């Protein structure tokens, strides 16, 4: 077990001990709201992790830790900066929503093009990999983490309202981000555990494998697209809903997959034959 994992487990241990501390950090006024906030932003992580079950590179190191870090820092950014900025400059809220939507749209465009055997005119993964000196495969995971975590920015203002009503101290506000992060970590690990079993399905028939992969890709892109819709929706309205956002995205992906069904199917069948042949 390397030092990074020890640090990760130590963080969870500190948060767990905090959950059991008596005193000013009372259960109803501080811990439960913080836990519920973690569950709220963690539901997105659970859904996104499950639909990426085909990705064998997902692990606590490549997925859980980055997601937890962003789900701690993004709400903190939203609380300490974005909340005051959006009040004094409402256009900032709209700008952030549009940025999130564009990021998701470019990612979907790239993946759909490659799935159909087409070359995208602009590859967001290539651009990100060059910008941050990452391998292209790692840049896609990086983008997905950003996409999944983007809505956590919006929990910052909610945290501000929560802290104001509860009369939280600055220490309690800071600890609340860590508590929510620990909850997200547990949710992500549970989702990874379930995704592991979904990946265990073995295929000897390339046609069955291609259909399985095709559905998995359609499901994954539909959900990721939902985060883009959610980001845009949240920038203009306080009534944004993740499930309706995913439904809207699914409808769009259904149209796109229908238009490119022949190309995508042939591409998936070709990859499935190669995969079965290697076994």
- Closest by CA position to 214, among listed 271, 277, 255, 259: 271
- What is the pLDDT, as a whole number, of residue 262? 92
pLDDT in tens, the chain (279 residues): 444 444 455 455 544 444 444 444 455 566 777 787 788 778 878 888 888 877 888 888 889 999 999 888 888 877 776 556 656 666 777 887 888 898 889 889 988 988 888 888 887 877 877 777 767 677 778 888 888 887 777 666 666 666 766 677 777 788 888 888 899 999 999 999 988 887 777 677 788 878 888 888 898 889 888 888 988 888 888 788 878 998 999 999 999 999 999 999 998 888 778 766 655
- What is the pLDDT, as a whole number, of residue 23? 44
Q: What is the pTM of this model?
A: 0.70
- What is the pLDDT, as a whole number, of residue 55? 80
- What is the pLDDT, as a whole number, of residue 7? 45
- b/e sequence 133-148, b meaning 16+ C-beta within 10 Å: ebeeebbbbbbbbbbb
- Closest by CA position to 192, among listed 36, 4, 9, 48: 48
CA distance 97 to 51: 23
Helix axes 206-236 and 242-259, enclosed angle (nearest 10): 130
Residue 22's CB: how many other CB atoms inside 10 A?
A: 7
- What is the pLDDT, as a whole number, of residue 33? 76
């Amino acid at each position: 077990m390397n030092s990074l994992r020890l640090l990760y487990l130590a963080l969870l241990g500190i948060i767990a001990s905090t959950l059991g501390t008596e005193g000013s950090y009372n259960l109803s006024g501080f811990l439960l709201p913080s836990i519920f906030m973690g569950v709220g932003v963690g539901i997105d992580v659970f859904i996104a992790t499950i639909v990426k079950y085909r990705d064998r590179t997902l692990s606590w190191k490549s997925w859980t830790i980055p997601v937890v870090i962003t789900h701690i820092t993004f709400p903190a950014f939203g609380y300490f900066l974005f909340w005051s900025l959006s009040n004094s400059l409402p256009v900032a809220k709209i700008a952030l929503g549009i940025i999130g939507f564009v990021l998701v749209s470019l990612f979907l465009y790239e993946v759909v093009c490659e799935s159909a055997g087409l070359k995208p005119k602009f590859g967001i993964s290539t651009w990100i990999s060059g910008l941050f000196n990452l391998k292209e495969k790692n840049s896609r995971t990086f983008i997905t983490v950003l996409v999944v975590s983007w809505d956590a920015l919006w929990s910052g203002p909610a945290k501000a309202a929560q802290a104001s009503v509860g009369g939280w101290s600055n220490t309690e506000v800071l600890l609340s981000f860590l508590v929510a992060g620990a909850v997200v970590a547990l949710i992500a690990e549970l989702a990874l555990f379930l995704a592991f079993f979904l990946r265990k399905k073995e295929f000897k028939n390339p046609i069955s494998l291609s259909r399985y992969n095709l559905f998995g890709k359609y499901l994954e892109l539909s959900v990721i697209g939902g985060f883009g819709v959610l980001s845009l929706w949240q920038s203009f309205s306080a009534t944004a809903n993740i499930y309706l956002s995913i439904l809207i995205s699914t409808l769009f992906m259904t149209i796109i997959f229908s238009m490119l069904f022949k190309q995508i199917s042939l591409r998936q069948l070709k990859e499935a034959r190669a995969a079965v042949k290697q076994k």
